[in-house]
Structure 1
Amino acid sequence: MRHGETEKHRHQKGATRSPLLWTVIFFALISVRCDCDEDLSQLVAEIVISPASVDLGPQIVARDNVIEKAFFVGNLGSAPLLIESWELVPADTPFQLIEPPDRVGASDSEPVTVQFTPPDRSDYGVVLKITSNDPERRVVEVPLVGSGGPPMIEADPASLEFGLVNEGPGMERTIKITNTGYDVLNIEAIYLAGFGALGADAGSIDNTSNPFSIVSEDLSQTQLPAQESKVVSVRLDPTYEAVLAAGGLGSALTETLVVDSDADNSPRLEVPIVGQVNLAPQAVAVEMLSRNAWVKIDLGREVEVDGSDTWEPEGDPFTFAWSLSRKPEESEVDLPEASLAQSQTSLIPDLGGNYVVTLRATDASGAWTEADMEIYTHDLVIVLTWYTDPNAPCQSYSEQECAAMSSQDRRTTCCGQSDLDLHLVRPSGTLGDYGQCPSGCIRQETNEDGNPVLVDLCAETTDANADSCRQEGSDCSYANRYPEWGVAGRVDDPRLDVDDIRGEGPEVVTLNNPQPGTYQVITHYCTDRIGEPTWAQIKVYVKGDLQYEAGPILLDSQGAAWASAYLVRVGTPEEGTWAFTEAPNTYLSNVPSDLCNQ
């Protein structure tokens, strides 16, 4: 059998002369040879081998390949053929006869099965000596040859057509790689040649924007046994940029899957890949005023997000769908439901952390793209929360019992009455250094309803009174909510954004453009109203990402202070980095007695 013959062909080799055919041949030969006047008592056997030499072709290396009907031994004589011995010369060969016959009837034939186990990719031969009772040919020699065949490779399909693929959902298709040969196939590498670069060498194309990808296991540096297959999954995620790179609207996207191996028939197998594209509307989500895809904002301020710049390359109609894809774990905000299918939406951050508003724009065929607008509440956000100790006396009252009490009774009986304060102390600063708001900066004004209100210009969010109304203490907390730190103006000033005087928090301090140095975070048990031991914990966010957690730590009574963390700032205010460490002592001593009585 030659290269490319199938297993089926191998098993059929030598089967062209069936016993029935042998019978016809034998009767014909007998009738030709018969001399009716001959003494029929002289009955003899006459051996014949078909084919006279046997070529088993390429077979699987290191496998017991059983070839049924490899050849036939026939008897043209009038007496039974008795086979005395079968001998392979040399004896130490990869060939073996499987239960060869020892008798063949007159005018009959018997098939012979051969097992061939080639140890490697090579040619092998042996001489088979058959000794029988044929008086004319006592010993018949039959050449027997075969080879350990090489591996071969085949891809199904030979070329991959994706058809029409929607941008957004994309599509995944498979290619079956089969070793159709006779030895282990060593796959050196399998890769995509490069978007739009048929036949390119591996690594010669920048694939950073390649819309095609292999998403199945990497078959590089693996082996594929003979007659076995592996499936390669290829994904197409088309983009507008990819279509432009391919030639513009209407252009097909092309790739080539390459398999480098030691296959005898195709050491470099190439499978062309092509896909047509239905482009999606190109989603754009920006903050309304700045037109940026990110914004840094104070807690409690509304952010308007605009998607009206979204456009459709092919001119198809499309719809909007907004979602809040990320928010702090404890946050309870969401997007206004009435805006979810409109071109604009809004969000009011309620906690420090990162918020991501996502716009998905979809056409009628289901093609879509998404755009994110990121919101974070300052460069640094410190969040303090707390909860009552499970063994506190107030835990003996259930929620139902507390709900049935009057407001005054709840405040003196039920859990949740503690007041913890969060302090951020700047480098070289002092706990309790609140500074003073200059005289005349707290003014009485009339609001829009005509009612008198006090306006604290030291806590203003603008720089209108930066030269005259600023509180410069080094401890940012309840008594110094918006101190003047660093350079003049609000650009790098900390702020107590959330202050909770009863409950479980949170309290939130934020800071933008921090100056270098070591900042201290301190938690102080300001007011214990009912004897309520409390566990406190802090979380620190950097540009919206949670970077550090500390606690919970038990503060068992009023006046206790926990050195929650050291925050070490290195580098410039805009490009620096943070490191976080625990304070050497968990609890502080010598805490000012009037720390929370300012």
Structure 2
Amino acid sequence: MRQSILLSLLLTMSAIVVGCPEPEQSTPVDVFKPNSFGNYSTNFQPQILSETRLNFGDMDAGESSSIPLEIRNVGKEVLIISGYESTAEFEVRGLDEELSVPVGESVMIRVNYRALDEEPRNGELVIFSNDPENPRWKVEIFANQRFPCLAIEPQAVDFGTVDPFLNETSSRDLKISNCSSNATTTFMLEDLVGEGFEAPLSRDETSLEPGEFVEISLTFVPTRSGAYEGQLIVSSNDYFEERKVVELRGYGKDRECPVAIITGSNPQGQTVTANPINVIDALPLDNIELSAGDSYDPEGQSVTYEWSLVGRPQDSAARLEPNLGSENVRLWLDLAGEYMVDLRVVSEFGVPSCQTARLRVRATADQDIHIQLVWDTPNDPNQQDSSGADMDVHLVHPNGQWDQTPYDCFWRNLNPDWATPREVRPDGTQTGWDDDPSLDIDDVSGWGPENINLDNPQNVRYSVGVHYFAHHGYGSSYSTIRVYIGGVLVHEAPRKLMGDQDFWHVADIDWAARQVIPVDTLQRGFPE
């Protein structure tokens, strides 16, 4: 049936050359191997692909030319090319026999043309195959036609390496020309894809007559180190390629990172270096001196400093002073617990340190008993200033009474003599001071803290309490007590709501048993 149709076409179209007829559908290649029982479905099929337009350009009478055409199989089954048709003026070489093209491979054929005159010519090549989607693949063929043509040089632009930290830029010229010998060509710089590149984009078309060209300046403006890639999209009336893509490449010069180093010192004489991480031990209420002076830039540039306090104990109000941009700062350890200080440095070129230095500060009480009081007054808008509620912590010996000397350690009795009588020997040495309590700080406004410490306690039962001494117009407050034994937190009584003149018996400490016994009673005024 197919042969009879072709024969009919030969009788009616003297300008058509006929190739081999199409055979029956080929047997599929065995490329599917099931690995278990069940129902499977596949869409394996061949797929033909090639250029769809061939242009011989301008040719003089008697001139001959040949254009190669690659036919590819981009499908998932063997492509069978069974024949072709072509317009008589255009000769096809390479398709005279049936061809099998394996998956992912291609064959090369040629299309030849000899111009009998200089008149425009156009024709068509039809390729027959077992591609079910395109059984008749068509390729248009042209010679001596008036087609717009746009050429871009170069098709890929490499701007090289540019230093973004010195605000350097790099420019390259792009030549855009009309490659047609007989047609006006128009183009437009349509879009620019990718960061770091600049081009004179416009929605207005530029017209070029045959042989004319323009040069467009492109600029690479990196803002960071590393590789940049982009694309300039150019649209035109080019008959064969309406949209052209120019690949853009550039590299932002790498800079060496400055190095952040923290040097920390405590009052006990310990000095450590965090490069990038280290830890230092200290006592509550210590001042830790921190320096960034050993930080440096490998390229010799000066650096600026960026300190940050990224961790501190719950209820702590600690901060770095005098400011976060100083070379040297100080950290007051207001509460027992762990603090974390970070340092980042930045070079003159704006390059930050690749690693942030971090110093962990562990504030651990070195006394046998350490009692810590903090409070929060919601009506006080600034609990860090000199105005605020006043609360007091108390530690009472079993021989004493609340708010009475000598056996209540509080703001009126800062360092009472409870155990071994204190004595100054004739040689000037002292005894009896190492087994008595001391109130280390009395905060009369704000949030605290107040700390009582006791070393070498007697084997008796001590009592811990809190008195709301004066609200100073700020109303009720929430108080929190923490008790540390041997530097370890063993009891926490959080956020007890108290009014002016309230007294809170928090807990007792049975030193013989090394235990804290919660009491948690609240009353107006001190117990009798």
Please indicate, yes or no, whether the TM-score normalized by the shorter chain is above 0.5: no
TM-score under structure 2 normalisation? 0.39
TM-score under structure 1 normalisation? 0.35
Higher strand share: 2
